Structure 1
């Protein structure tokens, strides 16, 4: 392994994932949910930094959807940066800057702005104490007062049972010699885990959930397994320890960077909530909660100089906050399941709310202009919107100002992403100029989007021709289709796209609104 890696895996590429929690508009929404002031997303002088950006796909998506923000991202693996820069260039992005610096080199750069957002996804648990100190110093120097830090990391007690097995498996894999290929490490890891489980080890009997975790790992990409388990450093944190480290950068914890984890009513029992309410110390309260839910991965928001908004200020911010559906209204689940409880969505509130949002992006002020929704009240509507966000069916939006420019930038980037799908399934998200975030898009739907973009008259034939040229076919029930069955399946998927996806994509700014019904019908031609 290269000596510049400091024990981090560099001979296996990281995955091209998009992580929605990195989105500025979502971080702003979740910060507002805690009554704390967030950076003004309407400002033209915002700067954003991602530390340890991997392949840089999240940064590229966010840069395409937020052309008014300057993005800077570093990853010391030059192969990742080459990939990130290539996509940025192909997508015509002018507001993103990638570096192959180590954290120490990045800290000492003199050409970086001060940042409104600094994000770290899946980095802090896998680096050395020295690198953690460098990151804290970087945040201390470069985060603006009032700026947001997003950080995700493995945590205790959820990792307590897995750490001994991780060490044993890594040691056995290493004992097989340096000749073992990176691609073989993941399969070797899983094979050994199964063998150990069959040896009737008392460790497995004492830690029954370990077997379930190993089984779940089988569904992950091998590169993920290598990066998750084979780094030299692996440090699951107690929340109190992490908060203490970040306090050196003058950071205050605000709340979880996940809407569902803000809803303790579905995640905790009544007795648990009452017990936590009696703990004044925030760090201790969070550590106790982690034990209640056996937390193994945390996503947290910290702010440098958290400012609590007054009741009136908070109300005005909420009224101006805009939301949009990311799914067809009738496809939205009418139940939210937490760790402990499930909540039925009351049709008297959610049906008219979903109907209003299905017409396009709406501010809370516009939503409350509907008489039936006004009756629900301000507080209850915020709770309902939070639940829709937790379901993944609704997203907070950027301000309407500047949406035209954002559409142009996002469209060019999305074309670069979709063009890649002509050959393989590599990227899984488009950039939304409405939300400033990424939208999950599978390969076939990317090709359908290309058909619309290129004004093809027969979408099914267009997609079929591309698949045929690549020597590929659709699968159904685990079997490849051919001939008439293949064409019928394609046309069925086109019909489903038109019925269930196209309208939501139009509201998200991914497609131009249709001007005539005949233009919609051409999808089925």
Structure 2
């Protein structure tokens, strides 16, 4: 392993995923949900930093969807940064800046602005204590007063049973030394875990969840496994310790960066809620909650200088917040399941709310002009919108101002992403100029979207030609299709895209307007 790695895995690339919690508009919404002031997303002077950006796909996507924000991202693996810069260039992005600096070198830079957002996904659990201290120093030095920090990390007690086993497996893997390449180390790690799990050990007997965890590992991305389990440094944190670290940077905890975890009524029993309500210390209350739910991974929002909004200020900001559906109405679940309970979505509220949101992005103020929804009242609508966001069926939006500029940049970026899908499945998200975040888009959906950019193109033929040029065929039941069967499967997938995806994508600003694509509108009629 290279000497500059400081014990971090650098010979296996990280995944090319997009992490929704990094989205500025979502962070602003979740901060408002706690009654705390967030940076003004309508401002033209915002700066955003991602520490440990991996492949840089999230930073690139967010930069595409938020041209009014300057993005800065670092990852000390130069291979990651080469790819990130190439994608930024292909997407025509000029508001994202990538560095292959260590955290210490990044802290020492004099050419960085102060930031409104500093975000880090997962990395805090995978690095040395020295690097963690450097991150705290960076936040203390570079985060503006009123700025937000998003941080996710492995958590105790959820990792308590896995950590001793991880250490044992890592020692075995390290003992193989240079005999194992990066991918081989991952395979050796999983195979050994499986063998140890079948030895009828008292350790596994005392930790019954381990067998399921190892079984789950077998189906996970091997690159993710390398970074999650094979780093020299790996430390799950108790919330109290993490909060104490960040207090040195003058940070105050805001709340979870996850709408579902804000809904204690479906995640906790009544007795558990009452017990937690009796704990005045915020950090201790969160640590206790983690033990109640056996928390394994946390996503948290912190702020430098918490400004608590009055009830009237919160109401006004809610009324001006826009929301949009990110799924077809018929595909939205009518039940939300938490850790303990499920809540059924009342048709008297959700049916008219979903009908209203199907028309396109709407502010809560606009939503409440509908008589049936006005009758439901402000508080019930806030709860309903939060539940739709928790379901992943609805997203908070950026202000309507600037959407035309955002769409121009997003179209260029999405085209660059989709063009890469001509050859391989690499990225699974598009950027939305409406939400300022990412929208799930698998490879086939991306190719169908590409056909829409070629006015009048036959979607089935277009996608079929792309696959043929790449020497690829669709699979069904694990077998490649040919001839008439291949054509029929392509037609079926195109029909599903037109019926279930295209309408939602239009509202999300991903497609040409309906007036610009009459052929497609006729197909869907």
Task: Give the TM-score taking structure 1 as reference length.
Answer: 0.99
Q: Deviations over 1:131-159 (max 9, x none)?
A: 11110010001000000000000010000
- Superposed, 1:19-98 pairs within 5 Å as 19-98=19-98
Q: What residue in structure 2 maps to residue 225 of structure 1? A: 225
Q: What residue in structure 2 maps to residue 259 of structure 1? A: 259
Q: Deviations over 1:55-97 (max 9, x none)?
A: 0000000000000000000000000000000000000000000
Q: Deviations over 1:141-197 (max 9, x none)?
A: 100000000000001000000000000111111112222011111111111111111
Between the aligned partners of 1:58 and 1:454, the Cα distance in structure 2 is: 27
Q: What residue in structure 2 maps to residue 126 of structure 1? A: 126
Q: Deviations over 1:423-476 (max 9, x none)?
A: 000111100000000101000010000000122431001100111111111112
Deviation, structure 1 residue 519: 2.2
- Superposed, 1:288-367 pairs within 5 Å as 288-367=288-367
Q: What residue in structure 2 maps to residue 245 of structure 1? A: 245
| Residue pair 1:494, 1:523 contacting (<8 A) in 2 also | no
Q: What residue in structure 1 maps to residue 198 of structure 2? A: 198
Q: Structure 1 residues 168-177 or 320-329, which shifts more?
A: 168-177
Deviation, structure 1 residue 242: 0.4
Deviation, structure 1 residue 218: 1.1
Task: Give the TM-score taking structure 2 as reference length.
Answer: 0.99
Q: Deviations over 1:41-60 (max 9, x none)?
A: 00000000000000000000
Q: Deviations over 1:208-265 (max 9, x none)?
A: 0011111111111111111000101001000000000000000000000000000011
Q: Secondary structure at the match of 1:61?
A: helix
| Residue pair 1:458, 1:523 contacting (<8 A) in 2 also | no
* Unmatched tracts of structure 2, length 5 or more: none
Between the aligned partners of 1:81 and 1:284, the Cα distance in structure 2 is: 39
Q: Secondary structure at the match of 1:148?
A: strand
Between the aligned partners of 1:64 and 1:409, the Cα distance in structure 2 is: 6
Q: What residue in structure 2 maps to residue 215 of structure 1? A: 215
CA-atom RMSD, angstroms?
A: 1.1
Between the aligned partners of 2:516 and 2:257, the Cα distance in structure 1 is: 41
* Unmatched tracts of structure 1, length 5 or more: none
Q: What residue in structure 1 maps to residue 146 of structure 2? A: 146
Between the aligned partners of 2:480 and 2:524, the Cα distance in structure 1 is: 23
Between the aligned partners of 2:175 and 2:519, the Cα distance in structure 1 is: 63
Between the aligned partners of 1:4 and 1:128, the Cα distance in structure 2 is: 13
- Superposed, 1:510-525 pairs within 5 Å as 510-515=510-515, 518-521=518-521
| Residue pair 2:169, 2:192 contacting (<8 A) in 1 also | yes
Between the aligned partners of 1:456 and 1:339, the Cα distance in structure 2 is: 48
Between the aligned partners of 1:311 and 1:473, the Cα distance in structure 2 is: 57
Between the aligned partners of 2:296 and 2:462, the Cα distance in structure 1 is: 45
Q: Deviations over 1:87-114 (max 9, x none)?
A: 0000000000000000000001000000
Between the aligned partners of 1:442 and 1:524, the Cα distance in structure 2 is: 20
Deviation, structure 1 residue 403: 0.2
Q: What residue in structure 1 maps to residue 441 of structure 2? A: 441
| Residue pair 1:459, 1:524 contacting (<8 A) in 2 also | no
Deviation, structure 1 residue 517: 7.7
| Residue pair 1:52, 1:123 contacting (<8 A) in 2 also | yes
Deviation, structure 1 residue 524: 7.7
> Which 4+ stretches in 1 moved above 4 angstroms?
521-525
Deviation, structure 1 residue 398: 0.1
Between the aligned partners of 1:221 and 1:466, the Cα distance in structure 2 is: 26
Say how many residue pairs are matched.
525
Q: Secondary structure at the match of 1:147?
A: strand
Q: What residue in structure 1 maps to residue 404 of structure 2? A: 404
| Residue pair 2:514, 2:521 contacting (<8 A) in 1 also | no
Between the aligned partners of 1:437 and 1:252, the Cα distance in structure 2 is: 25
| Residue pair 1:256, 1:299 contacting (<8 A) in 2 also | yes
